[in-house]
């Protein structure tokens, strides 16, 4: 009997054609907001390595929705510790810092409040963490190791925090994938990730600093992932991520993009315009479709407004970032909306 992670879905080989793709880079910009849905314990075929495969995740329903926000590093509290960063993910108070260019995505470290230590801590990698190397192509493999540390004071004692990450990546499959949102040509990357977070209390004895390892605040984790990437120009992030337990042969969590902004100021297809954007009281819908539904979601994924009319009252919405979903027949269009 084959394991859960290698079971084949026979329907996937019936009438679907796929192309082997290459992902040139990620076009993520400051101000982008991504909604990432997650479901836990989903049993879906992962399949063995190879080409012209099919993965069906279309029936998944989210247990939760996370908001990933990309911001200007210069606006954050720890900007001075990461002067070369051109992208940050998180908030002003706590963020992970990156450099993103046409050749790689590199994590430089993180800064923010650590609840266990009741401290604001900054950890800058002396050996940065290369998250992805571009282009991402079938058959490529790589290994990387990163290390960083930071210092602070807790309960009257100095401490040192260190983090090391080891990544082993193998782009081992390509094919076609269905999410609850759409169908995509994809390539798959298998990744083993080892993270070691250590905390040491520093005590000075006879003029010499002595470090004591704090096991209650330290972790050693080995995680396994299957990450699926697409060359769709509107998806500038891993399309779908599966974290699994290798020993138990079970899927822990599956995450997929349920919304990715494309950076346009208005939604526009061959027969659709939604405007203005930014908006205040009214959102106008121009469409050749006789029947349609426009739904507005907040950044937590909650529905806050819905209409099937050509002028939508949004005066009740507080100034914030929202996400508009336009549906008609088999057409689905999504876009970020700013309400001022």
Q: Per residue in 225-279, pLDDT tens?
A: 999 999 987 787 899 999 998 888 889 999 998 865 543 333 444 467 888 888 8
According to the model, what pLDDT value does residue 250 have? 86
Q: Which residue, among 113, 102, 107, 45, has the nearest Cα to 78 in the 3D structure?
A: 113
Residue ranges of the chain assigned to CATH 2.60.40.3080: 267-339
- Is 16's pLDDT higher than 70? no
Q: Which of 109-118, 259-268, 304-313 has the highest mean pLDDT?
A: 304-313
Whole-number mean pLDDT of the chain?
Answer: 85
- Is 83's pLDDT higher than 60? yes
Helices (H), strands (E): how many in the chain? 0, 22
According to the model, what pLDDT value does residue 8 have? 29
Vertex 74 angle, CA 72 and 75, to 5°: 75
According to the model, what pLDDT value does residue 262 have? 46
Q: Which residue, among 134, 169, 133, 172, has the nearest Cα to 20 in the 3D structure?
A: 172
pLDDT digits (tens, 9 = 90+) for 176-229: 999 988 899 999 999 999 999 999 999 988 889 899 998 888 899 999 999 999
What are the CA-CA distances from residue 246 to residues 131, 222, 226, 228 (Å)? 21, 10, 12, 18
Q: Give dist(CA 77, CA 112) in Å, integer.
A: 8
Contacts of 290 (CB under 8 A, 6+ apart): none
Q: List alpha helices for 132-211, DSSP H.
A: none
The share of the chain scoring above pLDDT 90, in percent, equals: 49
Q: Which residue, among 258, 225, 237, 251, has the nearest Cα to 64 in the 3D structure?
A: 258
The share of the chain scoring above pLDDT 70, in percent, equals: 88
According to the model, what pLDDT value does residue 268 have? 42
Q: How many CA atoms lie within 13 A of 108 on its CB side?
A: 20
Write b or e for each residue in 232-247: b if 16 or more Cβ atoms lie within 10 A of its Cβ, otherwise e: eeebbbbbbbbbbeee
Q: Give dist(CA 313, CA 318) in Å, integer.
A: 13
Q: Which residue, among 84, 74, 83, 38, has the nearest Cα to 57 in the 3D structure?
A: 38
According to the model, what pLDDT value does residue 17 have? 60
Unique residue bearing structure tokens 């083993």: 192
What are the CA-CA distances from residue 180 to residues 51, 58, 68, 132, 219 (Å)? 22, 4, 19, 26, 35
* Alpha-carbon torsion, ordered 16, 22, 27, 32, to 10 deg: 30
pLDDT digits (tens, 9 = 90+) for 122-174: 999 999 999 999 999 999 999 999 999 998 887 778 889 999 999 999 999 99
According to the model, what pLDDT value does residue 42 have? 65
Quote the pTM value: 0.76
- Is 44's pLDDT higher than 80? no
Beta bridge partners of 271: none
Helix (H, G, I), strand (E, B) or coil at 38: strand
Helix (H) / strand (E) element for 208: namely strand 208-213
According to the model, what pLDDT value does residue 7 have? 33
Average pLDDT on 79-92 reads 95
Q: Give dist(CA 309, CA 330) in Å, integer.
A: 19
Helix (H, G, I), strand (E, B) or coil at 129: strand
Confidence grade of residue 14 (pLDDT, cut at 50, 70, 90)? very low
Q: Domain spanning 267-339 has what CATH number?
A: 2.60.40.3080
8 A C-beta contact, residue 56 and residue 178: yes
Write b or e for each residue in 318-336: b if 16 or more Cβ atoms lie within 10 A of its Cβ, otherwise e: eeebbbbbbbbeeeebbbb
Q: Give dist(CA 198, CA 164) in Å, integer.
A: 9
Q: Which residue, among 85, 106, 95, 93, has the nearest Cα to 165 in the 3D structure?
A: 106
According to the model, what pLDDT value does residue 331 have? 67
Q: Which of 19-33, 183-197, 258-272, 322-336 has the highest mean pLDDT?
A: 183-197
């Amino acid at each position: 009997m084959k394991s859960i992670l290698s079971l084949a879905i026979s329907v996937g080989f019936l009438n679907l054609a796929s192309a082997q793709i290459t992902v040139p880079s990620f076009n993520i910009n400051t101000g982008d907001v991504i909604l990432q849905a997650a479901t836990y314990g989903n049993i879906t075929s992962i399949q063995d390595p190879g080409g012209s495969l099919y993965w069906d995740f279309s029936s998944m329903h989210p247990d939760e929705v996370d908001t990933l926000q990309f911001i200007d590093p210069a606006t954050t509290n720890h900007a001075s510790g990461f002067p070369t960063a051109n992208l940050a993910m998180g908030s002003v108070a706590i963020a992970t810092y990156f450099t993103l260019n046409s050749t790689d995505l590199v994590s430089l470290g993180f800064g923010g409040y650590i609840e266990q230590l009741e401290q604001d801590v900054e950890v800058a990698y002396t050996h940065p963490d290369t998250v992805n190397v571009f282009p991402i192509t079938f058959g490529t493999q790589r290994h990387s190791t990163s290390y960083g540390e930071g210092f602070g004071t807790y309960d009257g004692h100095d401490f040192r925090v260190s983090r090391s990450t080891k990544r082993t990546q193998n782009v081992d499959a390509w094919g076609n994938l269905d999410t609850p949102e759409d169908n995509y040509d994809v390539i798959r990357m298998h990744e083993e990730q080892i993270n070691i977070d250590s905390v040491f209390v520093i005590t000075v004895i006879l003029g010499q600093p002595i470090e004591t390892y704090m096991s209650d605040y330290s972790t050693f984790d080995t995680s396994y992932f299957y990450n699926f990437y697409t060359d769709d120009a509107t998806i500038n992030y891993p399309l779908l991520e599966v974290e699994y337990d290798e020993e138990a042969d079970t899927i822990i969590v599956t995450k997929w993009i349920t919304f990715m902004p494309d950076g346009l100021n208005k939604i526009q297809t061959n027969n659709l315009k939604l405007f203005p954007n930014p908006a205040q009281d009214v959102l106008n819908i121009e469409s050749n479709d006789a029947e349609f539904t426009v739904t507005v979601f907040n950044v937590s994924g909650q529905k806050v407004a819905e209409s099937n009319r050509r002028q939508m009252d949004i005066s009740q919405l507080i100034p914030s970032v929202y996400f508009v979903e336009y549906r008609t027949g088999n057409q689905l269009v999504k876009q970020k909306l700013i309400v001022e």
